[in-house]
């Protein structure tokens, strides 16, 4: 019996290769490839920014 694979947080394809993940303010996001990871970062910059106090 095989374990179910998590869906990519961008395209919803099964994540077959581990290692494409990001820590965001809402938790860890997993991706099926480097392309999905990069596009997710471009589309959601506020989830990865660390605002500096003035």
Q: Is the pLDDT of residue 11 over 90?
A: yes
| pLDDT tens digits, 36-46 | 999 999 999 88
Threshold 0.85, pTM exceeds: no
Residue 25 backbone class (left: φ over 0; alpha: ψ -120 to 50; beta: rest)? alpha
Q: Is the pLDDT of residue 49 over 70?
A: no
Nearest CA-CA partner of 24 in 46, 51, 53, 8: 46
E strand map for the chain:
21-24, 27-30
Hey, where are the domains in the chain? 1-46
Mean pLDDT of 14-26: 92
């Amino acid at each position: 019996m095989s374990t179910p694979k998590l869906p990519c947080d961008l395209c919803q394809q099964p994540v077959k290769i581990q290692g494409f993940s990001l820590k965001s303010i809402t938790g860890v996001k997993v991706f099926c490839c480097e392309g999905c990871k990069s596009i997710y970062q471009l589309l959601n910059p506020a989830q990865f920014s660390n605002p500096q106090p003035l």
